[in-house]
Amino acid sequence: MKPVRAIVSVSDKTGIVDFVKKLVDLGIEIISTGGTAKLLKEAGIPVREISDLTGFPEIMEGRVKTLHPKVHGGILARRDKEDHLKAMEELGIERIDMVVVNLYPFKETVKRGASLEEIIENIDIGGPTMVRAAAKNYRDVAIVTDPKDYDLVVKELEETGKISLKTRFYLAKKAFNLTAHYDALISDFLYSIDEEGNPVAVREMRNPLTITFEKVQDLRYGENPHQRGAFYKEVFIDEPCVSSAEKLAGEKELSFNNLYDLDGAFNLVLEFDPEKEGVACAIIKHANPCGVALGKTPEEAYEKALNVDPVSAFGGIIAFNSKVNAEVAKLITQRFYECIIAPEYDEEALEILKTKKNLRVLTTNGLSGLERRGQKSPFDYRRITGGLLVQDRDLVVFDPEKVKVVTDREPTEREWEDMIFAFKVVKWVKSNSVVYAKNKVAIGIGVGQTSRIDSARCAAEKAKMMGMDLEGSVLASEAFFPFRDSVDEAAKVGVTAIIQPGGSIRDSEVIQAANEHNMAMVFTGIRHFRH
């Protein structure tokens, strides 16, 4: 069936004048509203006002204009139902064969920091109602919501005089996806504030959970080449992170694994305040750190991190918590890495890094978003087959008021510094995990073992293999020690202090072992399992 009448009402007016001119040339009558009608008239296009169709004026500052039986009857009437056609004739309802609508800019209004009143006024009602009505009746009506589809619609009309069922179904799917996304954005925003518009401190775990993400790009493949992959991001997040990072250099696109590792690397270095604790450098390989260190300069931190395990660092991901300078850039380009991420780069450093064409260089454009209340992504989502696990993000290291020394000997100042450093690192190592640290360098990292004693042994053996001196080091564990064996193992290699959450039924035995070895031991009361 050839379209004879179209309703056109768009907020995003990209390409709309040219598109409607072509519809008019094809003999389609145009009905429009508000600003869209004004724009089309100014372009010399004949337009019929919506009030002429409905016989009712737009009211309440435009809140009510298309919510009318003569609009929705014309959209929803099935052309193959005699009673529908009879009702249209009896009530004077004109058929509408095409709806060209996109929605009020709710997302953009929120993101520019508008008042709550203005945000609420940018919740579209009539638009989504027409979109859903047209999409429901896609067998008889074409719903066009995306300016990118204008050329497709015109091409089919010019070639065949109609829009194919295949295209109408394609447009309907996009339309329902649009309204679902739009409503999810509204829900997400409203759950982030109280009734006065102030950010809530803790997000509700609502039921049902409606979440929405926008596609950034298709990926070459997923975790493995036989899996498809795509990268999506949350909409209202305003924090320095991989999802909001800008790629400055690198010819290759980021992969699924690159993005996952970049996220872990950058989150790790964010645990350290560059002004108070120094420059942090983390080198990540297969979601685990193979080198982490603090230094006075980026090059010092990088060299210390690299020395921990230069073999594993090959093809890894590097993250910094401060500006990357030319000195460290020169060192980085001497080896092969997949990606680097940092808050910023000086001009010379960026030019040096660009000489490695396959090195992807990302910037988060600063760290300034870290303290913006209510703007961090609130939840951690983990997919399981047929379901979704949701938890609060692990944004703490430990509560200073819960930290206590449990052994006879108090830690020295240096041991305290190393233990705090090590506990921040072990938080981002896959469980079961331990980290040996000395002079703010993670000199031994035990990852992903099924027993904690194996993690302790593997980390110590790796450290020795790389020529690291464990004498006088500290040990951090992300969860409690179930037995004293890990403490005994640590003592053999020269560990003098241990930091762990505590909470085992055998804590007394573990503490006793530490006292026997003249170790200092600290309980944090906070566990950091990472699966």
DSSP symbols for 16-58: HHHHHHHHHHTT-EEEE-HHHHHHHHHTT---EEHHHHHTS--
Half-sphere exposure of 454 (CA within 13 A, CB side): 7
pTM: 0.88
> Which uninterrupted H or E stretch holds 485?
helix 485-492
Two tokens, residue 389: 């696990």
In this predicted structure, what is the pLDDT of residue 371?
A: 44
Q: To the nearest whole number, what is the mean pLDDT of the chain?
A: 93
| Whole-angstrom distance, CA of residue 55 vs CA of residue 49 | 10
Query: Is the Cβ–Cβ distance between 300 and 322 less than 8 Å?
Result: no
Burial of 309 (0-12, 13-18, 19+ CB in 10 A): buried
Looking at residue 198, its amino acid is N
The backbone torsions φ and ψ at residue 367, rounded to the nearest 5 degrees and listed phi first, read: -120, 10
Token readout for 448 is: 């992903």
Distances (CA, A) of 525 to 106, 397, 475, 479, 502: 43, 10, 16, 9, 6
Most distant CA atoms of the chain, gap in Å: 96
Strands 520-523 and 497-500: parallel
- Over 60: is that where the pLDDT of 372 sits? no
> 411-464, pLDDT tens digit by residue?
999 999 999 999 999 999 999 999 999 999 999 999 989 999 999 999 999 999
Same fold, 5-190 and 214-371: no
Domain covering 404-523 assigned CATH 3.40.140.20 in the classification: yes
CA separation (Å) from 391 to 205, 238, 308, 378, 382? 9, 20, 33, 9, 8
The CA distance from 144 to 130, in Å, is 11
Name residue, tokens 């006024």. Answer: 121
Q: What is the pLDDT of residue 373?
A: 35
Annotated domain spans of the chain: 5-190, 214-371, 404-523
Please say if the pLDDT value at position 368 is more than 70.
Answer: no
Q: Is 334 exposed, middle or buried (0-12, 13-18, 19+ CB in 10 A)?
A: exposed
Give the pLDDT band (50/70/90) at residue 59: confident
Q: What homologous superfamily is domain 5-190 in, according to CATH?
A: Methylglyoxal synthase-like domain (3.40.50.1380)
Pairing of strands 474-477, 434-437: antiparallel
- Predicted pLDDT at 34: 85
Superfamily of domain 214-371: AICAR transformylase, duplication domain (3.40.140.20)
Which is the catalytic residue, given 21, 22, 233, 286?
286
- Could you tell me the strand order of the sheet in which 29-32 lies? 48-49, 29-32, 5-9, 98-101, 142-144
User: In the predicted model, what is the mean pLDDT of residues 85-93?
Assistant: 88
Place of tokens 């790796």: 462
Task: Report H helices in 149-255.
Answer: 150-160, 165-190
Name 238's Cβ contacts closer than 8 Å, sequence gap at least 6. 244, 369, 372, 375
User: pLDDT by residue (tens digit) across 234-245?
Assistant: 998 878 899 989
User: Whole-angstrom Cα distance, residue 251 to residue 338?
Assistant: 11
Instruction: Give the integer Cα–Cα distance in Å for 280 and 15.
Output: 48
Q: Is 174 tagged catalytic?
A: no
pLDDT in tens, 252-286: 999 999 999 999 999 999 999 999 999 999 999 99
Q: What distance in Å separates the CA atoms of residue 503 and residue 412, rounded to the nearest whole number?
A: 24
The active-site residue out of 22, 68, 84, 136 is 136
286 is a catalytic site residue: yes
Residue 21's Cβ-count burial label (10 Å; 0-12, 13-18, 19+) is middle
- pLDDT bin (cut points 50, 70, 90) of residue 467 is very high
Instruction: Give the relative orientation of helices 82-91 and 69-76 as an angle to the nearest 10 degrees.
Output: 150
Rounded to whole angstroms, the Cα distance separating 35 from 41 reads 10
The predicted pLDDT at position 375 comes to: 63
**Residues counted in the chain:** 531
Per-residue pLDDT tens over the stretch 173-229? 999 999 999 999 999 999 999 998 888 888 899 999 999 999 999 999 999 999 999
What pLDDT score does 294 carry? 98
Q: Report d(CA 327, CA 329) in Å as an integer.
A: 5
Residue among 3, 27, 25 at smallest CA distance from 99: 3
Q: Dihedrals φ, ψ of 425, to 5°?
A: -70, -45
Which position has the token pair 């790629």? 247
How far lies 316's CA from each of 152, 261, 288, 312, in Å?
44, 9, 10, 8
pLDDT of residue 54: 80
169, pLDDT greater than 70: yes
Distance CA 250, CA 272 (A): 27
